[in-house]
Amino acid sequence: MKPIGALMWEHRLIEQIIPLIATEIRNIRGNRKVDVVFIEHAVDFFRTYADRTHHGKEEDILFAELAKKPLPENLTRIMKELTDEHVVARKTVSALFEAGREYRNGQEDRLETIISGLTDLMNLYPGHIEKEDKLFFFPVMEYFTKPEQDRMLEAFWEFDRKMIHEKYQNIMEQMGGTVKRW
Ligand SMILES: [Fe+2]
Ligand SMILES: [Fe+2]
C-alpha cells in the first residue's frame, strides 16, 4: 500500500460524520434542543481522529517530507491551503467544544453557535478531503521513490501506534492524574 492509501482510508471514515452532522443540525433546529452527547462525540472524533491522528500524519510526516522536495508552485500552494484548512478546522472544533460546554452548563443561547460550528465543519471537510484525494495525494507521491514511500507508511503506523496511549494519557491528566510520558 502507498502511504496515501492509509490517508484515503481514513478519509472514508471522516466523511461519514457529515450526514450525521446534517441530521443533528435538523434535530437541533426542529427541537430547539442540543444533544450534548452527540456534540461531545463529534468533538472527540474531530480532535482525536480527524485532527491528531489524521491531520497529524499529513502535517508531521507527509507535508514535512514534501517540504524537502522540489514541488511545483501549484502543489506548494495546495499544501499551504490544506494546512490553513486544518487550522480553521481546529479552531472551529474548539469553538464547538466551548459552546457545547457552556450549553451543558445552562447557557441555552449557545445553540446558534453550536449550529454554526457544526455547519462550518460540514461545509469544510468534504471539499478538503476531495482536494487531497483528487488534486494532491497522487501527484505528490511522484516525488517519492518506492523505498521512501515504504518508510513513510512505516512512519504512519508508528505514529498511529502512539495515539491510543496519548489519548488516554491526556484523559488521565484531565482527571488529575500524573502521567509519565516516554
Ligand atoms: Fe488534510
Ligand atoms: Fe486528509
Buried/exposed code over 112-135 (b: 16+ C-beta within 10 A; e: otherwise): ebbbebbebbbebbeebbeebbee
Query: Closest ligand to 14 CA?
Result: 2
Burial class of residue 54 in the structure, from the number of CB atoms within 10 Å of its CB (0-12 exposed, 13-18 middle, 19+ buried): buried
Asked if the structure places residue 92 within a domain, the reply is yes
Is 92 a residue whose pLDDT tops 80?
yes
pLDDT at residue number 48: 97
Asked if the structure places residue 105 within a domain, the reply is yes
Any idea what the CATH number is for the domain that residue 71 is in?
1.20.120.520
Distance 129 CA to ligand 1 centre (A): 7
Asked if the structure places residue 74 within a domain, the reply is yes
pLDDT at residue number 182: 72
Q: Is the pTM of this model over 0.75?
A: yes
Asked if the structure places residue 45 within a domain, the reply is yes
Asked if the structure places residue 180 within a domain, the reply is no
Kindly state the average pLDDT of the residues 93-108: 98
Rounded to whole angstroms, how far apart are CA atoms 41 and 19? 15
Distance 163 CA to ligand 2 centre (A): 17
Rounded to whole angstroms, how far apart are CA atoms 100 and 44? 12
Is 181 a residue whose pLDDT tops 90?
no
Distance 27 CA to ligand 2 centre (A): 28
Asked if the structure places residue 106 within a domain, the reply is yes
Residue percentage of the chain with pLDDT more than 70:
100
CB atoms under 10 Å from CB of 91, counted, come to: 12
Is 165 a residue whose pLDDT tops 80?
yes
Query: Closest ligand to 8 CA?
Result: 2
Rounded to whole angstroms, how far apart are CA atoms 42 and 97? 9
Asked if the structure places residue 182 within a domain, the reply is no
pLDDT at residue number 83: 98
Q: Which domain holds residue 100?
A: 3-174
Per the structure, how many domains does the chain have? 1
Q: Give SS3 for 28.
A: helix
96: Cβ contacts below 8 Å, ≥ 6 apart: 39, 42, 43, 114, 117, 118, 121
What is the DSSP track for 88-120?
HHHHHHHHHHHHHHHHHTT-GGGHHHHHHHHHH
Distance 15 CA to ligand 1 centre (A): 12
Asked if the structure places residue 179 within a domain, the reply is no
Distance 107 CA to ligand 2 centre (A): 34
Kindly state the average pLDDT of the residues 39-55: 98
Mean pLDDT (the chain, rounded): 97
Is 73 a residue whose pLDDT tops 90?
yes
